[in-house]
Amino acid sequence: MTGGPTPTPIAPADIAASAAAVLRRNDLGGWTKPAPRLYPHQWSWDSAFIAIGLAHLDTRRAAMELRTLFASQWATGMVPHIVFNPDIPLGSYSPGPERWDCANLAAAAPPAPPHTSGLCQPPVHAIAAWRIWEVAQHGDDPARDDALTFLRELYPRFLAWHRYLATRRDPEGSGLVTIFHPWSGLDNSPRWDPVLAAIAVGDLPSYTRSDTQHVVDTSQRPTTEEYDRYLWLVELLKRARYDETVVYRSYPFLVKDVLFSGILVAANEALLAIAAEIKAPADDRRLITEWVERGRRGLEGCWDPELGLCLDQDVRAGTPVRDRTIGGFAPLVAGEMAPDRRAALLETMDSPAFLGHPQLRWPVPPSTSPDESGFRPRSYWRGPTWPFLTWLLWWSLVRADETERAARLRRAALDQIATVGFAEYVEPFTGEPLGSADQSWTAAVALDWLAADGVS
């Protein structure tokens, strides 16, 4: 048990080998746990980022990471945010499969085991699949053939996943994905505070947290009040038997998540590239193109000119959530902005509210702007920097041909990793590593950054 990982500096030349060793140690066969002890199951978007890193070690193993995850896809197309490891004792992570009870309650859940959770995380998977394909182009013929087989096999699953998000999670046809729970990526972000504040916790069955047994400095993790609300929302989802139509009618936490939606746009572009490669029907391609356009229009409608960021929308209250967080850069992730919008967003990125903040140890994006009242430099999504999200912004800058900015971000991110190791998240001012050590997706994005340089 630790209060936070000890900084373990790595010589720049050793980062690739150390990152590969982290992924090897966290490898449980066909999939990778996000962290050695804190997260012992398979997580959806972790696996996508992990596959991006694994691609540089072994494209077949990278493909396997996504195959394993998608084997637990629900009949609706939803990819659950956790696939529970049947080999570890109940109580190793909470809430565990018995609390979610999806196989019993949800008509669409796959046969168990493995059991799954009843939520989902951002759809980075098609982006990862495309990265695997790109890397396989530098391999031998059998590796390329296998990668093509993988794309053909997973394409219908990706399409069903994106269709799920475009329909059941967007019945309004707004282009924006509705999340049902803070466990949709950025758990305790201040983005959800006003929505959670309006929720009264009812008769909540007792629970024991496992996270605070691994991270003993509880200031780094969500509070008890937050956890009560998280667990209460799970109870409400269970009452709705995880049926989106019922959830939409009566449930208190419905948020149009701009970062999730921006990632979906980028993932739909990756899916279009995959569709072209495997010669998918023209109708599919038209549909995916429509999703891309609708997504960008939806994000455009969430722009806040005063903050120079894109804002989440509280569906029940009908109001935007006016917080400056990393989620506000969603249009950059989605790509293809009007020149003035792009200039405004980059100005926000460079400003003291983000990368230009004078106290930052490295110019990498804090999860919440230090200028926000909800900013907490040690608390999970309320301030710390998360290397995999730095990667997402870097990747988006590369796509936007912002070569110089991208190079600066990559240099700072690799310097951070060389100084503190593969921490889950990092205190933005002091550079203290927080959460878990040897976090898989941190190692994975390091490999991708190094490959971009031809170093690995």
Provide the annotated active-site residues: 187, 424
Retrieve residue 48's tokens: 């996508």
Contact mark string toward ligand 9WN, 30..59, x via CB under 6 A: ----x----x---x-xx-------------
* CB closest to ligand 9WN, residue no: 34
The least CB distance from residue 406 to ligand 9WN, in Å, is: 23
Q: Which two tokens stand for residue 10?
A: 């790595």
Between 97 and 185, whose beta carbon lies closer to ligand 9WN? Answer: 185
Q: Output 121 or 456, the one with its CB closest to ligand 9WN.
A: 121
Q: Rule CB under 6 A: is residue 187 a binding residue for ligand 9WN?
A: yes
Q: How far apart are alpha carbons 446 and 21 in whole angstroms?
A: 12
Interface with ligand 9WN includes 383 (CB under 6 A)? no
Nearest distance, CB of residue 182 and ligand 9WN, angstroms: 9
Is residue 211 involved in binding ligand 9WN (CB under 6 A)?
A: yes
DSSP string across 337-401: --HHHHHHHHHHHHSTTTTT-TT-SSSS-BSB-TTSTT--TTSGGGS-B-HHHHHHHHHHHHHTT
Q: What is the DSSP string of 158-207?
A: HHHHHHHHHHTT-TT--S-PEESSS-SSSTT-GGGHHHHHTPPP-SPPP-
Euclidean distance between CA atoms 43 and 136, whole angstroms: 24
- 2-31 residues in contact with ligand 9WN (CB under 6 A) are none
Told to check if 257 binds ligand 9WN by CB under 6 A, we report: no
Residue 77 within binding range of ligand 9WN, rule CB under 6 A: no
- Is residue 438 at the binding interface for ligand 9WN, with CB under 6 A as the rule? no
| Residues 274 and 155: beta-carbon distance below 8 Å | yes
> Least distance in Å: CB of 39 to ligand 9WN?
5
d(CA 367, CA 386): 7
- Cβ closer to ligand 9WN: 45 or 242? 45
Provide the β-strand partners of residue 256.
178, 313
Report the half-sphere exposure of 20 (CA within 13 A, side-chain side). Answer: 12
Closer residue to ligand 9WN in complex, CB, 121/379? 121
From the list 326, 311, 414, 400, the residue with the least C-alpha distance to 369 is 326
Asked if 84 touches ligand 9WN (CB under 6 A), the answer is no
Phi-psi bin for 360: left (phi > 0), alpha (psi -120 to 50), beta? Answer: beta
**42-43 vs 82-83, strand pairing mode:** antiparallel
To ligand 9WN, the closest distance from the beta carbon of 380 in angstroms equals: 7
Task: Count residues near ligand 9WN (CB under 6 A).
Answer: 11
Q: Using the rule CB under 6 A, is 74 a contact of ligand 9WN?
A: no
Stretch that binds ligand 9WN, among 7-15, 67-75, 182-190, 298-306 (CB under 6 A): 182-190
Which positions lie near ligand 9WN, rule CB under 6 A?
34, 39, 43, 45-46, 81, 121, 183, 185, 187, 211
